[in-house]
Amino acid sequence: MAATIASSGAAADGARGGVLASPRARFALYLLLGFSAGLPYYIFSTVLSARLTKHGVDLVLIGFFGWVQLLPTFKFAWAPLLDRFAVPGFARFFGKRLGWIILSQIGIVLSMVAMAFTSADTDLPVVALFAVLLAFWTTTLEVSADAWRIELAPTAEMQGPLTAANLWGYRSAMVAAGSGALIVADRSGWTGAYLAIAAGAFVPLPILMSLRRSAEGSGERLVSLATGLLASAVVLAGSLVLVAVAGWLVLSAAAGIGISAKTDATTAVLVLCMLPFVIMALALPRIVNLPATARLRTSTMIGPYVDIFWRFGYRVLPLLGFVTFYRMGDVLTLAMSKPLEIAAHYDLTTMGVADGFVALPSSMAGVAIGALLAVRMKLIRALALGAIGSAIGNWIFVWLWFAPPSPHVIYISTALDQFAHGMEGAIFVVYLSLLVNPKYPGAQYAFLSGFAFLLPRLLAGAGGVMVKHIGFDGFFWLSGALSLAAVVFLPFIANAKPRSDD
């Protein structure tokens, strides 16, 4: 794969106006970038929930750990910085987008190793610290890769293949991490499982680092690389300190107001997380009348997000409602599928086989069909099919819960779930990519995709509480119905088109 990309000049930096030399090279690059982003995701979500369940952690606390997945929802908070700034040294050596990707990959590997050596789960705040860091660096990689993809592929026809490649790599890595970690954990323990996945996460790093060499002399190249490594060390250390301090402040504040492991904090978290979006919606009447020179539209940090509301006007409200519900089923399945399977008396090896040999081909088939539908069919119809498929993918777990434990039951459930959510995800990525203003690719895609997962991940964090009240069957009936509810918004967004700049 590295030869395919490098020989085609794939290291050209899309942010500087360069393009990848061939469609095949772009496809190979995004297969690799999807793998790099997908491998850690299961580790701080589904695999972590299985690990905590096996160690007897209360189901409510496991649900709270699901809120680690909220971090990617707020990637818009730092995405404009990735659009505007570059990693010192790495920018000259690799280019801006690839420089951030390299730094993120280093952060991913180090965070996984740290999670491996805290896998006894005896100190849950420390476990949460490294899970948050892993989520942060995974998200930073995604922001840079998404921005680069939108710059390279501005049309639906170009987005389809890159989206398929990215999701094939992403879901393949998720499946490999999920099944691999569970199978290794069953034989060698959780530390060995996390170290094995960390080794897998390291593999893309030298391949990505081989993509670009600057045109400078060898001495200048070494200076650029050394500067980049030093800057990376500073940023990685700073992020560790920042997250640790922020976590301590949050836990201290929670304890101070009486919030404990038995407290249902869902409502408070929902209000806090929704606040920035509510403020933006309330400001909509003013935003739609702003001139091009208005400070709100030219600001580095909030200008890209104001631009979304300005371009779509009042249609932005049903549009945001639609994206909120569309991925509901996918996220909620990730949060509670493994606790359900363990509660249904499936062993880790059977679960790992289902997540590997069954889920991988099913997911890849779903992604391929979804990308094809997004290109060949009217996009609004493709979105409707994706929502229906997602609902069915969730409801299949109700059958798994009531059926006697059997390999064929979990294999069929996993296959349908992965196919449906792979198809839905591919259609959705193409749709969101076409909503983005090319002037702000990283920031706007981060905002829209982050908002799409806000409510689902909040509900995922409360998944343990919900299961205690309505059972696993009620949880999956509800999650499927919420995903299907996205169809209600389709008539209101079918003709939503952005207006051009002043």
DSSP states of 365-377: HHHHHHHHHHHHS
Looking at the predicted structure, is the pLDDT value of residue 69 above 60? yes
Please give the backbone phi and psi of residue 495, each rounded to the nearest 5 degrees, phi first.
-110, 20
> What is the C-alpha to C-alpha distance for residues 360 and 368, in angstroms, rounded to an integer?
12
> What is the C-alpha to C-alpha distance for residues 1 and 398, in angstroms, rounded to an integer?
41
Q: For residue 291, give the 3-state DSSP assignment.
A: coil
> What is the C-alpha to C-alpha distance for residues 161 and 145, in angstroms, rounded to an integer?
15
Looking at the predicted structure, is the pLDDT value of residue 68 above 90? no
H/E stretch holding 163:
helix 156-202
Residue with tokens 């995903």, as numbered in its chain: 483
Whether residue 450 contacts residue 72, with contact meaning beta carbons closer than 8 Å, is answered with yes
- 178, 166, 167: which is closest to 338 by C-alpha? 178
What is the average pLDDT value for the chain, to the nearest integer? Answer: 83
**Number of residues in the chain:** 502
Rounded CA Rg of the chain: 22
Burial of residue 88 (number of CB atoms within 10 Å: 0-12, 13-18, 19+): middle
Triad 19, 14, 85: Cα angle to 5°: 165
Domains of the chain, residue spans: 2-493
Whether residue 201 contacts residue 109, with contact meaning beta carbons closer than 8 Å, is answered with yes
CA distances from 162 to 2, 30, 104, 382 (A): 17, 6, 21, 18
- 6, 16, 300, 42: which is closest to 147 by C-alpha? 16
31's tokens: 């297969």
For residue range 120-160, what is the model confidence (pLDDT) as tens digits? Answer: 888 888 898 999 999 999 999 999 998 888 887 777 777 78
- 477, 467, 473, 360: which is closest to 53 by C-alpha? 467
pLDDT at 365: 93
pLDDT at 267: 67
Across residues 245-269, what is the average pLDDT? 70
232's tokens: 């990376």
Across residues 93-104, what is the average pLDDT? 88
Looking at the predicted structure, is the pLDDT value of residue 360 above 90? no
474's tokens: 């009620």
Please give the backbone phi and psi of residue 475, each rounded to the nearest 5 degrees, phi first.
-60, -45
Side-chain half-sphere of 196: how many Cα atoms within 13 Å?
17
Beta-carbon count within 10 A of 402 CB: 11
Looking at the predicted structure, is the pLDDT value of residue 12 above 50? no
H/E stretch holding 9:
none
Burial of residue 18 (number of CB atoms within 10 Å: 0-12, 13-18, 19+): middle
Cβ density class 279-289: b for 16+ within 10 Å, e for less: ebbeebeebee
Of 185-189, 489-493, 497-501, where does mean pLDDT reach its minimum? 497-501
Of the candidate CATH numbers 3.40.50.300, 1.20.1250.20, 2.60.40.10, 2.40.10.10, the domain formed by 2-493 belongs to: 1.20.1250.20
214's tokens: 């600057």
Looking at the predicted structure, is the pLDDT value of residue 5 above 50? no
Please give the backbone phi and psi of residue 203, each rounded to the nearest 5 degrees, phi first.
-55, -45
pLDDT at 424: 93
